[in-house]
Structure 1
Amino acid sequence: MNIGFEKGTVLNLEQMIDYAEGGVVSKQVIKTDSGNLTLFSFDEGQGLTEHTSPYNAVVQVLDGQAEISINRQPHILKAGQTIIMPANVPHALHAIKRFKMLLSMVKG
């Protein structure tokens, strides 16, 4: 299912989502039975508490800087960097500086 974005067009993902002061914004790009793509923006200090997902998750940082913990092992990522979070392993995100990311969730 396409969620408001035309397939076959060039997208600038970093420009397609804005920051919200003191908050987190998400915008679904596409959703299918096998996974989805979602844009997120996090204001400085915001994040997602530790959780698990049945999907493998690829985080591509588009702007800013974040600490992403996988199984309580912290990783510092900045714009242009990517990390893969394995399915069913605890992970968390924290905005060191406000940041934007593309989250790709893939079954399997």
Structure 2
Amino acid sequence: MENVEVEKSKAFAIIEMIEYVSNAVVIKTVLKKTTGNVSVASFDSGEFLTEKISPFDCFIQIIEGKAEIVIEDLSSILETGYSIIIPAHSRNTIKANVRFKMIVTIIKSGYE
């Protein structure tokens, strides 16, 4: 994962910030704070993130392609423009049946 924030006060096209890499998942940080972070990710077809459980809510927004998001064994197919919130403490995985790009926003505050 690349941890380089985007320059503030300068417009950018988030979809162009990340490229597809064959047989890989690529993640770049857009903004990182102690209260949460925003990242952009690209998944090549057939790639996935192994099942995990996060202690924080996670907002997923598909910006290109189509993703399969599995939360507690319930599968949702999200196409460009669609979003989902993965609740804190939920088992989840993200799969690319076809390649896609997404924005991931993790909110770390409010759990005190």
TM-score of the aligned structures, taking structure 2 as reference length: 0.91
Match in the other structure for 1:72: 73
Matched, 1:43 2:44: yes
Q: Write out per-residue CA displacement over residues 30-63 of structure 1, whole angstroms, 9 at most, x where no aligned residue.
A: 1101000111100001011111111100001011
Q: Write out per-residue CA displacement over residues 59-99 of structure 1, whole angstroms, 9 at most, x where no aligned residue.
A: 01011111101111000001111100001111101002100
CA RMSD of aligned residues (A): 1.2
Does the residue aligned with 1:48 lie in a helix, a strand or coil? strand
Match in the other structure for 1:94: 95
Gaps of 5+ in 2: none
In 2, distance between residues paired with 1:23 and 1:3? 19
Match in the other structure for 1:56: 57
Gaps of 5+ in 1: none
In 2, distance between residues paired with 1:71 and 1:92? 9
Match in the other structure for 2:23: 22
Residue 5 of structure 2 contacts residue 32 of structure 2 at CA under 8 Å; is this kept in 1? Answer: no
In 2, distance between residues paired with 1:37 and 1:67? 20
Query: Counterpart of 2:56 in structure 1: which amino acid?
Result: Y
Q: How far has the Cα of 1:16 moved from its partner?
A: 0.6
Q: How far has the Cα of 1:4 moved from its partner?
A: 3.6
Match in the other structure for 1:6: 7
In 1, distance between residues paired with 2:61 and 2:12? 15
